[in-house]
Amino acid sequence: MPSPPTAGPRRAVPAERERVIETRGLTKTYRGGQLAVDGLDLAVPRGSVFGFLGPNGSGKTTTIRMLMGLIEPTAGSARVLGEPMPGAGRRVLPKVGALIEGPALYGFLSGRGNLLRFDAADPTADPRTRAERVGQALERVGLAAAAGKKARAYSLGMKQRLGLAAALLQPRELLVLDEPTNGLDPQGMREIRALVRELAADGTTVFLSSHLLDEIEQVCTHAAVMARGRLVVQGTVADLSATVLGSSGGGRLAVTTPDTADAARVLKEHGVTDLDVTGERVTGNLPVPASAAPPAADGPALDLADLNAALVRAGVRVRGFGAARASLEDVFVQLTGEGFDVAG
């Protein structure tokens, strides 16, 4: 089980200066009346790894572009690192590393040449340390060996890494990563996730957009879910699981046993609800903890080990015993009422 996230209910509304990204009523209507983002109120706390979740076409990228000053909002406003965007872009953006909608490179330049060029575009970057910083960034994403190769010869994964390296040319306060593991093999994904964790441990706030639920679940402390241009929910990952799936408790218990009737009886006595017997399998909802807080905060209402012991004491022969924790996918399906891969 991942350790509990930092922000509990006591800090549900962090102080404004603690918000790295904050938007109010952020709206973007493209020419032709297509509403891409609709009244978005987003709050990303400092130090968090913030998962930005939504199917393709749900407005994630438009939101990120507005935060980065690439797109002018139709209405509403956005603040990044406490300053308004796009107005303060010149001061804010040097402290922000970004990977937006996949990497884009100069194919005729080497990997190193690409990074040198992007670094030269930053007026605050010191040209004296440029070569050194480029070398470090390449090292960090594991591209040092291929740095001299023309970027057009790179594989998609290498391009992704180079894009990430561009975001890491300077120490950043905020990293905005749009689908950072896109196109990577499982090994590459693991490396990138490890890198994100490492950066977060250094105190960098990471704003990570993804359509991969397990990715968000694995690395993020906070998450927001978008669907069809609207923000559906935001909060800590644990809160999302707890509050959204509150009606179905902490998860679903599954017991495999030939003695289904006894098992159902014992489980019912221990407060498990909505029991269902199918063949040799008994499933039911675990009881809801007294408070909405995560189990770690107040202690579990029901210890699964005790429950198992009780079953055994009652003479139930247990072949299999386990609890399925509510996943973000469950959250998402519950919130949007649709499958995840449906394009908005």
Which stretches of the chain bind another protein, using CB under 8 A? 2-7, 18, 24, 45-49, 65, 68-74, 77, 79, 81, 83-84, 86-91, 93-96, 98, 100-102, 104-109, 116-127, 163, 166, 170-171, 173, 197, 200-203, 221
Compare residues 240 and 267 and give the one whose CB is closer to another protein.
Answer: 240
Question: Which is nearer to another protein, 78 or 232 (by Cβ)?
Answer: 78
> 94 or 271, CB closer to another protein?
94
DSSP character string of 261-328: HHHHHHHHHTT-EEEEEETTEEEEEPPPPSSSS-HHHH--SS-HHHHHHHHHHTT---SEEEEEEPPH
Q: How far is the CB of 178 from another protein (least distance, A)?
A: 10
Q: Which is nearer to another protein, 65 or 228 (CB)?
A: 65
The CA-based angle 132-136-140, given to 5 degrees, is 170
CA distances from 79 to 95, 158, 167, 178 (A): 14, 32, 20, 18
Query: End-to-end alpha-carbon separation of the chain, Å?
Result: 32
- What is the C-alpha R_g of the chain? 23
Label the pairing between strands 75-80 and 19-29. Answer: antiparallel
19-29 and 35-40 beta bridge pairing = antiparallel
Write out the E strands in the chain: 19-29, 35-40, 43-45, 49-53, 75-80, 83-85, 96-99, 174-178, 205-210, 222-227, 230-236, 251-256, 273-278, 281-285, 320-325
* The pair of three-digit structure tokens given for residue 10, joined into one six-digit string: 């006591």
Encoded tokens for 48 = 């968090």
CA distances from 177 to 16, 79, 323 (A): 23, 17, 33
| Least distance between another protein and beta carbon 328 (Å) | 16
* Shortest reach from residue 332's CB to another protein, in Å: 21
Q: How far is the CB of 290 from another protein (least distance, A)?
A: 24
Between 175 and 286, CB nearer to another protein: 175
Give min distance, CB of 117 to another protein, in A.
5
In the bound state with another protein, the residue whose beta carbon lies nearer, of 190 and 268, is: 190
In angstroms, give the least distance from the CB of 279 to another protein.
38
309, two tokens: 């012991």
Work out how close the CB of 108 gets to another protein at its nearest, in angstroms, rounded to a whole number. 6
Minimum distance from residue 143 beta carbon to another protein (Å): 16
Q: CB nearer to another protein: give 20 or 263.
A: 20
Q: Which is nearer to another protein, 65 or 252 (CB)?
A: 65
